Amino acid sequence: MQVQLEIDFRNAERSDQVEEVVRERVEKLKQYFQGIISCRVTLEVPNRTLQYDVLNHRVSIVISVPGEELVVSREPTEHDDFVDIYVAVNGAFDLADRQVKRYSERLRESREPVGDLPFASVTKIFRDEGYGFLMTPEKRKIYFHENSVAHPGFSKLSVGDTVSFVESRGDKGPQASLVTATGR
């Protein structure tokens, strides 16, 4: 994960044990997709009053992945008399697991090569920002993100390297969803 995990307790007591469960579940998410950028988990007691102790917990998870944010929320329902914090956390992370798996499958499908892959050369690399640009033989400029670069990875690419790529449609134009170095 590129950004440190954020765990926020709202209207609830901070607990080291609950934080440990959250950290374990976030680590488990990485087995489905290694390119998670950040994760923010909010644990909240929405109906806590002076007369009543903790009745139910709301758990919200926001996972940033390249190109989008995956949002999961485990809300108490009117039929819940009491939902333990651990049950709420695990329920929310079960949903998050499924979303991350689906995202990873969609990404994998878009990366599957169809026939011969087009070639381009690396024209610009912004290492600190984690992206760069390719130039095709037809003089088309293609954006790529560091997470789209196959082994040996973004850090090994240099301006002038020849790469094959899978083109996809990005928010601001063409982008490479998979970049594979082929040499100089």
Q: Tell me the pLDDT tens digit for each residue of 1-46.
A: 678 899 999 888 899 999 999 999 999 998 988 888 899 999 988 7
- Looking at the structure, tell me whether residues 25 and 103 fall in a common domain: yes
Q: Indicate the residue among 65, 92, 111 that finishes a domain.
A: 111
pLDDT in tens, 111-137: 555 557 788 999 999 999 999 999 999
Same domain, 69 and 149: no
**pLDDT at position 28:** 93
Domain match, 44 and 99 both: yes
pLDDT of amino acid 121: 94
Q: Could you tell me the two tokens for 129?
A: 């920002």
Domain range holding 161?
119-183
Q: How far is it, in rounded angstroms, from Cα 83 to Cα 70?
A: 24
Same domain, 29 and 106: yes
What is the mean pLDDT of the segment spanning 153-164? 90
pLDDT for 74-110, tens place per residue?
A: 876 666 556 678 888 998 999 999 999 998 888 776 5
Asked whether residue 151 is domain-assigned, the answer is yes
47 pLDDT higher than 70:
no
pLDDT at 168: 86
Domain boundary among 53, 87, 111: 111
- The reply to whether 46 falls in a domain is yes
Instruction: Give the list of residues 6+ apart from residue 86 with CB closer than 8 angstroms, or none.
Output: 18, 21
User: The domain spanning residue 151 has which CATH number?
Assistant: 2.40.50.140
Looking at residue 183, what is its pLDDT?
Answer: 66
- Round to whole Å and give the CA distance between 162 and 157: 9
d(CA 4, CA 95): 21
Residue 173 reports pLDDT greater than 70: yes
Higher pLDDT residue, 33 or 51? 33
pLDDT at residue 48 in the model: 57
Tell me which of 111, 131, 149 is where a domain ends: 111
Q: Where are the alpha helices (DSSP H) in the chain?
A: 16-29, 85-111
CA gap 95, 82 in Å, rounded: 20
68 compared with 48, residue with greater pLDDT: 68
